[in-house]
Amino acid sequence: MAGLNPARLLGFEEISLEAGSRADLILFHYEGTGSRMNIQTTLACGAVKYGTLLVNS
């Protein structure tokens, strides 16, 4: 996972994505080799810091 392996390498406690746990997230689109990663939304401390977050209801 994108967050679990770096956390292990840095010696951080095990992380998980559960209700009440810390979750700074980056939503991105990537087409594959040779293409650029397009960051669409960044969430930190429970708020959108970059882009927009569309929620299906």
pLDDT 10s digits, 17-50: 777 777 788 888 989 899 898 999 999 888 899 9
For the chain, give percent helix, strand, coil, nearest 5: 10, 30, 60
Residue 49 lies in a domain: yes
Query: pTM for the whole thing?
Result: 0.57
Q: How much is the pLDDT for 53?
A: 84
Residue 7 lies in a domain: no
Q: Residue 53 and residue 5: Cα distance in Å, rounded?
A: 26
Residue 10 lies in a domain: no
Q: Which domain holds residue 43?
A: 20-57
Q: Is 23 exposed, middle or buried (0-12, 13-18, 19+ CB in 10 A)?
A: middle
Residue 14 lies in a domain: no
